[in-house]
Amino acid sequence: MLFITMTAQTTVVLCLLVKAAWGEMKFPPGFRFGAATAAYQIEGSWNVSDKAESVWDRFTHEHKYYVDSGSNGDVACDSYNRWKDDVRIAKELNLHFYRFSISWPRLLPTAFSNKISDDGRNYYNQLIDALLEEGIEPIVTLFHLDLPQRLQDLGGWANPLIIDWFANYARVVFSLYGDRVKTWITINEPLLICEMSYSDSNLAPGIESIELGNYLCAKNVLLAHATAWRIYDEEFRPKYHGKVSLTNILIWYEPTTGNDSNLGNLANQLCNGIYTHPIFSKTGNWPQSVIKIVDERSKLLGYPYSLLPEFTKKEIEFIKGTYDFFGMNYYISKSIRKSLVNEHIPLWPLEGVPILGAILESQPTWTSGATKWFSAHPPGLRKVLNWIRHNYGDQEIYIMENGYATADTELEDFDRISYLKDHLEQVLLAMKDGVNVTRYTIWSLMDNFEWSDGYTIKFGLYEVDFSSPERTRTPRKSAEYYKNVIETHSLSDFYVKNEL
Ligand SMILES: *[C@@H]1O[C@H](CO)[C@@H](O)[C@H](O)[C@H]1NC(C)=O
Ligand SMILES: *[C@@H]1O[C@H](CO)[C@@H](O)[C@H](O)[C@H]1NC(C)=O
Ligand SMILES: *[C@@H]1O[C@H](CO)[C@@H](O)[C@H](O)[C@H]1NC(C)=O
């Protein structure tokens, strides 16, 4: 009797302990998990039916030397033909949602609404319907780097007319799919579209227009997003009740020493705030610190006015508040320090910040992935989430991408599991800090064409066999891990420990 009582008490105590531990590791009931891909990176079929050429088709075909191994997205994961496989593996993982993007030149061969491609329209209809049938929410990105080449020929994102061109496209997409798609991303990662595509030649369209094109692009991207949001708000929200925002890639710039903290603040505004402040802050407009830095720089270079184009008062009001959630992607942090005398300062946003005279590095304790820019620092995610709250108040935050790059096709990808676990842990810690994160998305559902890294780096929960005509998708260990996180709605710490 005594023995039984003691056991019962011990069991109760143990249960409480376990519950406390799990309680901290648990995500709240409404929290949703998903995985992401993007059209050019998976679809292939670049020249079927009436599909037009995108900047990435042109870039990979003409500038083979810029992309690793001269590869391209001509076939990629062949998702244009094998979308049923994508839905099947999304279901296998029990994803709450699947984030994919629509190819503008596939849907609108002229880039305008005068001609909607039947095949393009049907392709996305089938995909959306199949996902819904499996109980997986489709989250759709309108623009994920694959601009119609026809528009690039007219200046692309540097031409202010793109605001209307994009709005016209957005209206078509909302009207075709808005009855079933309730969560929209207008534009993915302005930092890549404007800074990296204009500052070095690694990303299409590969225009070197540092300190000019990047700023013109930034203004137009923000206005295009705001216009699309307002179109949804006025014409579609009343009947469809969905949510629209953009997603920014946020890099956490960590001061290397205590003396670099101001540099860290400035870099966070220059690379992150430039695309978020105009939309999410109470005042709107570019961050004041960025206006000041670029103004001084422009004067120094003898320009007649600031290289950062001004917003009119009307534009500031027009852009401000055009969101229904805060979308963000996070992969890496960078350690920032003042450059030494005569030290070469490489291009930003990954290696240096010339305008600040600063060098970007990794710290010794941070881990690197398969590619040199990948400096993983999980606490950076918590810091960036708190940075959002500090700058823009309480926001509902959707993490729309986070993932780990490996160099080989390894199925036993414990490094990826550690990365995911460590980052999910930081999400939970940030939530304890009071940050309201409600969605988490892994990049990527499967290996795909990783832009200038081609097929040399892998981000997939599923391995894709690019040498087989079937482009066979095979789950990695991380797929099992993530499936378990989703099913238990908590961090599967035990799985990692047991298996490692
Ligand atoms: C489409 O592109 C492929 C190369 O990716 C080429 O072999 C094929 O001939 C092209 N098809 C058409 C119809 O142009
Ligand atoms: C910070 O700056 C001060 C003053 O210039 C200098 O004395 C100190 O060594 C610096 N600290 C570090 C960690 O670099
Ligand atoms: C997070 O944001 C959503 C949407 O605004 C809201 O419904 C929810 O109550 C918020 N949660 C917390 C913990 O603030």
Q: Which atom of ligand 1 is nearest to the CA of 48?
A: 13
Q: What percent of the chain has pLDDT over 90?
A: 87
Dist. CA 111–CA 116, nearest whole Å? 9
Dump strand ranges (E) for 280-324.
none
Q: How far is the CA of 2 from the centre of ligand 1 (A)?
A: 80
**pLDDT tens figures, 164-209:** 999 999 999 999 999 999 999 999 999 999 998 987 768 999 999 9
Q: Which residues line ligand 1 (CB under 6 A)?
A: 47, 74
Query: What is the chain's mean pLDDT, rounded?
Result: 93
Judge contact between 354 and 347, C-beta under 8 A.
yes
Model pLDDT, residue 409:
83
Phi-psi region of 111 (alpha: psi -120 to 50; beta: other; left: phi over 0): left
Choosing from 43, 315, 401, 463, the catalytic residue is 401
Its pTM stands at 0.94
Dist. CA 339–CA 354, nearest whole Å? 9
Residue nearest to atom 3 of ligand 2 (CA): 259
Q: Is the CB of 261 under 6 A from ligand 2?
A: no
DSSP code of residue 207:
-
Q: For the domain covering 2-334+363-499, report its CATH number.
A: 3.20.20.80
Q: Which atom of ligand 1 is nearest to the CA of 47?
A: 1
Domain range annotation of the chain = 2-334+363-499
Model pLDDT, residue 387:
98
Judge contact between 399 and 437, C-beta under 8 A.
yes
Measuring CA to CA, how many Å separate 488 from each of 22, 145, 324, 485, 493? 10, 35, 28, 5, 11
Residue nearest to atom 2 of ligand 2 (CA): 259
Dist. CA 3–CA 175, nearest whole Å? 69
Q: How far is the CA of 436 from the centre of ligand 3 (A)?
A: 6
Judge contact between 294 and 306, C-beta under 8 A.
yes
Residue from 245, 388, 399, 436 whose mutation best tests the ligand 3 pocket (most atoms within 8 A of CB): 436
Look at residues 203, 200, 248 and name the one whose alpha carbon lies nearest to residue 221: 248
189 catalytic residue (yes or no): yes
Choosing from 43, 189, 425, 463, the catalytic residue is 189
Dist. CA 75–CA 56, nearest whole Å? 13
Dist. CA 76–CA 168, nearest whole Å? 28
Judge contact between 402 and 436, C-beta under 8 A.
no
Q: Is the CB of 126 under 6 A from ligand 2?
A: no
Q: Which atom of ligand 2 is nearest to the CA of 257?
A: 13
Each of the 500 residues of the chain gets a pLDDT tens digit; together they read 333 333 444 444 443 444 444 456 899 999 999 999 999 999 999 999 999 999 999 999 998 888 888 999 999 999 999 999 999 999 999 999 999 999 999 999 999 999 999 999 999 999 999 999 999 999 999 999 999 999 999 999 999 999 999 999 999 999 999 999 999 999 999 999 999 898 776 899 999 998 999 999 999 999 999 999 999 999 999 999 999 999 999 999 999 999 999 999 999 999 999 999 999 999 999 999 999 999 999 999 999 999 999 999 999 999 999 999 999 999 999 999 999 999 999 988 889 999 999 999 999 999 988 888 899 999 999 999 999 999 999 999 999 999 999 998 889 999 999 999 999 999 999 999 999 999 999 999 999 999 999 999 999 999 999 999 999 999 999 999 999 999 999 996 655 544 54
Q: What is the dihedral of CA 407, 409, 415, 419, to 10 degrees?
A: 80
Residue nearest to atom 14 of ligand 3 (CA): 436
Task: Locate all alpha helices (DSSP H) within 134-192, ordered by sequence.
Answer: 149-152, 162-177, 190
* Cβ-count burial 93-128 (b if 16+ within 10 Å, e if not): bbbbbbbbbbbbbbbbbebbeeebbeebbebbeebb
